[in-house]
Amino acid sequence: MSSTSSPRGDVNLARRIGFWSATGLVIGITIGSGIFRTPAVVASRVPDPTMMMLVWVLGGVISLCGALTVAELAATFPRTGGWYVFVREGWGPMAGFLFGWSQLVLIRASAIGAIATVFSEYLLRSFGFSPPAGSSIVNYVAAVSIVVTTIVNVRGVQLGAVLSDVSSIAKFGGLTLLVLMSFALGSSEAHAPTSVPAATIDWRLFGLALISALWAYDGFADVAMTAGEVRDPIRTLPRAIVVGTVAVVSIYIAANVAYLYVNGTDAMAKSTLVAADTMQALVGSIGVAFISVVVMLSTFGTLTGIMLTAPRIFFAMADDGLFFKQLTYVHPRYHTPVVAIVLAGILGVAFVLTRSFEQLADTFVVSIWPFYGLAVAGLYRVRRRVPEHARPYRMPGYPVLPAIFVAGVAYLVGSAIVSDPVWTSLTFGIVLAGIPVYFAAFAHRRRITR
């Protein structure tokens, strides 16, 4: 088990992030493209209003169980790297390496591509264009947006940080306004949802719908990646993670109720731009323009934020001797990790030009959530193997709540294997391809303090 002292890289980081800023990061990172795009995917896979809302509630419960567990892990190991640190502490260096390997070759590219796709769709809608899902123009505009955010982050973190802050305020405020307007101005009479008998629900599709919802909930613990820059992380991180996650779950459920109230299940299933269509029904083209700007700010800010946070994982791994040193190269003029940023941008462009939004989002969840499950399950090992370890925060509901999270991860992985065995197997194959890379290049170089 690693030492609890701060890693070498953390001593050079300024601790400037307080509780409210950390909570804002949780909300800002989590609310990206998902809530503006995936409700249509969920409704198409589960065309029943009750079951559809069950998907979102279940996704929220699973995420909250994970957040409570990660709150303890973050307080116990308050180091830069977040999930990588938790996986490594629970299961050892090779598991930590596989997480970083997957981030590099699969996870970040899928996330960047999916978020850029939503940005492209709402940007085109704001100009009066409504190309069909999967249209090449959507992919090309998304690719350009990835190139732009790559350049922004190479040039420096200040602009990226400003964009992230502005987008956090815009996205939460925009969603809140949409919910309030839906119940003040909307009417459910013209779109009365009709229940579908439970026997007709395809439970394999229910699992895929849950995967889509978990894409929207993802990010609830990413603030832990910045632990080296958080003031009093032992107290701040647990509170920020829990408060931020509760806020996100609440606004997501409220937003889906609003979408359903205004549009109905059938219209939601056909509406890839459900937020814009909801505002169109409420106040016309002015509403479409407003929400399109909100979503563009949200997704562009999230794209920028991904380019800011992902290199922290690579830095933490390189500090342990578990990753390619070239990825930590810092630009001599702009002082940014240019190689890691550019590589993430190139992979994002490649993915967005070859995969649909649904494929990108599903790939992201299937490749990263098993690591979340490992990290959460690792808490059992950490408590058992190092019972004397200082634990400033102990999660409530242990050992039940971590088990609920792990069971949820197992269910979504099983659903993915049953519903799409070829692509799921290929995804896991890419992840496991990191094992020979680890033993060939890094196993003898690791320098984690023990």
Number of compact structural domains in the chain: 1
Per-residue confidence in pLDDT tens, the chain, 450 aa:
443 444 444 444 556 678 887 888 788 778 877 898 899 999 999 988 999 999 999 999 999 899 889 888 888 887 767 888 899 999 999 999 999 899 888 888 899 999 999 999 888 888 878 777 667 899 999 999 999 888 887 876 555 556 666 677 778 888 999 999 999 987 755 455 555 555 466 777 888 899 989 989 998 877 776 666 678 877 888 888 888 889 999 999 999 999 999 988 888 988 888 999 999 999 888 888 888 888 888 888 778 777 766 666 776 777 777 777 777 777 788 777 788 888 888 989 999 999 888 889 889 999 999 999 999 999 999 898 877 777 777 888 899 999 999 999 999 899 889 888 998 999 999 999 999 999 988 877 655 544
DSSP single-letter state for residue 334: T
The helix or strand, by DSSP H or E, that contains position 358, with its residue range, turns out to be: helix 357-385
Between the alpha carbon of residue 96 and those of residues 85, 223, 259, 447, the distances in Å are 7, 18, 40, 13
What CATH number does residue 148 fall under? 1.20.1740.10
d(CA 75, CA 236): 8
Find the largest Cα–Cα distance for the chain. 67
Q: Quick check: is 449 in a domain?
A: no
Pair of tokens at residue 427: 């995804």
Q: Quick check: is 2 in a domain?
A: no
Q: Which amino acid is at 367?
A: S
Q: pTM score > 0.75 for this model?
A: yes
Say how many C-beta atoms besides its own lie within 10 A of residue 385's C-beta: 12
Q: Quick check: is 376 in a domain?
A: yes
Taken in order 180, 183, 186, 192, is the CA torsion positive or negative? positive
Q: Quick check: is 194 in a domain?
A: yes
Helix (H, G, I), strand (E, B), or coil: what is residue 17? strand
Q: Quick check: is 253 in a domain?
A: yes
d(CA 140, CA 34): 20
Which residue range forms the structural domain that includes residue 128? 14-389+399-441
Q: Quick check: is 429 in a domain?
A: yes
Q: Quick check: is 7 in a domain?
A: no
Q: Quick check: is 235 in a domain?
A: yes
